[in-house]
Amino acid sequence: MPDPFDSILYKYVYCTLSSTDDVACVGSGLFGGGLLPGGLEWLAYVLTAVTIVAVLINAILGGVLMMIWGERRLLGRFQGRTGPNRWGPFGLLTPVADAVKTMFKEDVMPTVSDRLVFTAAPILMLFPALLIYAVLPFGAGTWLADINVALLFIIAIGGANVLAIVAAALGSGNRYAMFSAMRAVAMLISYEIPLVISLIGVLMLSGSLSLVAIVNAQTLPFFIVQPLGFFVFLVASMAELNRTPFDVAEAESEIVAGYMTDYSSMKFGLFFLSEFAATIATSGVITAVFLGGWHGFDPIPSQIWFIGKMVAVLAVIVWIRASWPRLRIDQIMNFAWKALFELTLINLVVSGILLLIWPSPSTPELWYMAGVNWVVFLASIYIFGKVLGPKHDPVAAGNIQSGITLSDSDAPAIPAGGGD
Amino acid sequence: MNGTIDVVFWIMSAGAIGAALLVVTVKDVFRAALALAGSFLAVAGIFFLLQAEFVAVAQILVYVGAISIIVAFAILLTRDMGQGNQTQSSRFLVVGGGVVAALFVLVAGFVAYDTAWSDRDAALNDNTMAVLNGQYEEVTDASGEIILIASTDTDVAMNGVFSDSTGWLGGLLVRDYVLALQVLGVLLLASIIGSIALVREQATK
């Protein structure tokens, strides 16, 4: 078990609260401390936990508001318009107005719904998104928990939001919501596999599942050494997040708003919030695993480096959203099983062979590995593009009318040309 | 912080048992499925408390992330649009619950009786640090009791028994029990092929 006091967050807050003669804080003369008398160490523990959680959750809420603003501004730029710019400098206060509006809307509950499940679904959705932050290292010595299996924990928790989508669909009892939930479950289960396997290359290089150890192992950022793993992880994460090229679960041109159709007011707000919180958390994971985490150069503090890289990843995610149209569900499934899955297996085999040649790679050896991996990456992407390209899409080639057939005759027709 | 661990343990246990009771008593199957996921999550919390991090995360990954979702998906697909969710009947709740509880008490009692708690506690209290430092390792002797001996295997000594259970488990799986793992994989593949063969549409003649 790593010592929680490896994290300066705990050490600072705990030692400020606890008595001056607490053995755990002796020697850390930095901290004034002594807010509580001796013998109340347990209260100091509890208060430390409560303080850190309260600060973190508020930071996430602030981050989500900033991201809503940033995404709308960036989308505006990508689409050749200005974006929100009326309230506050650069329109910075627009998300605040959005939040206030959402909170004061009427909370409508459809009569056919299962009220308990209907209410529980948004809460269930937020819960995994927030839990990911528990293991993210935001900077050198700045993390909440450095558990040995952090990466596996993130994947396990991240998959749990499907349950919330199904709960929302069953709770509202709406047909569009049902279709949305079926699409979401099929898509998320499929993309979980490339998501997990794409990380194995990184795990073999770092030899640990702990995010702190992975960041420490990156003398060379792993997106240089593992381009294929990085590419597949980025794409599969977008699918897990239900973001635009993969947002068939809430495709407004086909199924209204999917599982969110019947939700209004703050219940809808919670879905929105958890989607953005999960996006920020995922960009944090990508930063920690592939972009070298908090590593940078002085005098900029490590925490600023981490957040800067996170913002860069978020900008790329918004860029992807602005650039690609929505895929059809059959294209999405084909892409997961025929392209991403095989690409991860290629990455796995190549990384394994390279690690047999250089068992514990030094920095120059990492560069050799990167060279081989980039050649493999570009070659395999080229070949897969040739084999699975638009010429081989049965719908585009006109061989069949639609890629999938839904058994329910009441199903909304899926446009053959795909959404936009 | 033994007090804290006790408090968390009781919260987790109450959560696991309460949710499990809900699973069998609630009429609506989807609510029961959600309660099942909650129960699994509470058990994962207990594993975390015991510092069995890998088991805890595997519990979340497999039970909360996969089994619960498959159950929910099955409910979604078999649901009658007009009438809402299927309801479960609990006519044999007392008999079935009694049989399962008796079996569980039997197994748990056997394990509790068969484990040499006192030796283990004493060994842990005296030698935990020695094991953590890798100077000793745990082995099972001829009479089935766990004892500590001076470590000879450098791998085990490096990892320690308690400090890195994930690495230790991984080593066991792909070194010592690799054949069992392969057989398990083949068995899973066979069961997948079997289920596909069972449900696939018959070719029309």
Write the pLDDT tens digit of every residue in B28-81.
778 888 888 889 989 988 888 877 788 888 888 888 878 888 888 787 777 665
Contacts of B56 in chain A (CB under 8 A): 149
Tell me the backbone φ, ψ of residue B139, rounded to 5 degrees: -135, 160
Structure tokens at B4: 């804290």
- Whether residue B40 is contained in a domain is answered as yes
Contact assignment for B69 to A162 by CB distance below 8 Å? yes
- pLDDT tens sequence across A104-142: 888 877 766 677 888 888 888 888 888 888 888 887 777
Domain containing B84 — which CATH number?
Answer: 1.20.120.1200
Out of B51, B69, B76, the one facing A1 most closely (by C-beta) is B51
Place of tokens 């994962």: B44
Domain boundaries defined on chain A: 4-42, 105-392
Q: Residue B133's pLDDT band (boundaries 50, 70, 90)?
A: very low
- Whether residue B154 is contained in a domain is answered as no
CA quadruple A160, A163, A165, A168: dihedral positive or negative? negative
- Whether residue B36 is contained in a domain is answered as yes
Report pLDDT for B184. 93
Contacts of A175 in chain B (CB under 8 A): 81
- Whether residue B100 is contained in a domain is answered as no
End-to-end CA gap in chain B: 71
Out of B31, B73, B81, the one facing A166 most closely (by C-beta) is B73
Contact assignment for B30 to A117 by CB distance below 8 Å? yes
Residue B13 structural domain: 1-88
- Whether residue B54 is contained in a domain is answered as yes
Exposed, middle or buried: residue A170 (CB in 10 Å: 0-12, 13-18, 19+)?
buried
- Whether residue B188 is contained in a domain is answered as no
Chain B nearest-CA residue for A160: B65
Contact assignment for B166 to A149 by CB distance below 8 Å? yes
CA quadruple A208, A210, A216, A219: dihedral positive or negative? positive
- Whether residue B134 is contained in a domain is answered as no
Out of A45, A114, A163, the one facing B68 most closely (by C-beta) is A163
Whether the ipTM is more than 0.85: the answer is: no
Compute the C-alpha angle A8/B60/A1, nearest 5°: 35
Contacts of A156 in chain B (CB under 8 A): 57-58, 60-61, 64-65
Chain B nearest-CA residue for A175: B81
Q: How far does CA A125 lie from the centroid of its chain? A: 13
Q: Does B57 touch chain A (CB under 8 A)?
A: yes
**Three-class DSSP category at A37:** coil
Type of residue found at B144: G
Contacts of B58 in chain A (CB under 8 A): 152, 156
Contacts of B8 in chain A (CB under 8 A): none
Residues ≥6 apart with Cβ < 8 Å to A232: A194, A195, A197, A198, A340, A343, A344, A347
The reported pTM is 0.79
Type of residue found at B62: V
**8 A C-beta contact, residue A81 and residue A91:** no
Closest-CA distance of chain B to residue A239, Å: 16
- Whether residue B174 is contained in a domain is answered as no
Single out the residue of A71, A106, A73 nearest to residue A87, CA to CA: A73
Q: Does B84 touch chain A (CB under 8 A)?
A: yes
Residues within 8 A of A (CB atoms), B 93-132 only: none
In angstroms, rounded to a whole number, what is the distance separating the alpha carbons of residues A360 and B163?
Answer: 22
In angstroms, rounded to a whole number, what is the distance separating the alpha carbons of residues B51 and B45?
Answer: 10
**8 A C-beta contact, residue A319 and residue A242:** no
CA quadruple A88, A90, A96, A97: dihedral positive or negative? positive
Query: For chain A, which residues score pLDDT lower than 70?
Result: 1-6, 18-41, 111-113, 252, 390-420
In angstroms, rounded to a whole number, what is the distance separating the alpha carbons of residues A122 and B70?
Answer: 20
Residues ≥6 apart with Cβ < 8 Å to A1: B51, B163
Structure tokens at A123: 């809460």
Structure tokens at A308: 């800067």
Report pLDDT for B161. 44
- pLDDT tens sequence across A204-251: 888 888 888 888 888 888 888 888 889 899 999 888 888 878 877 777
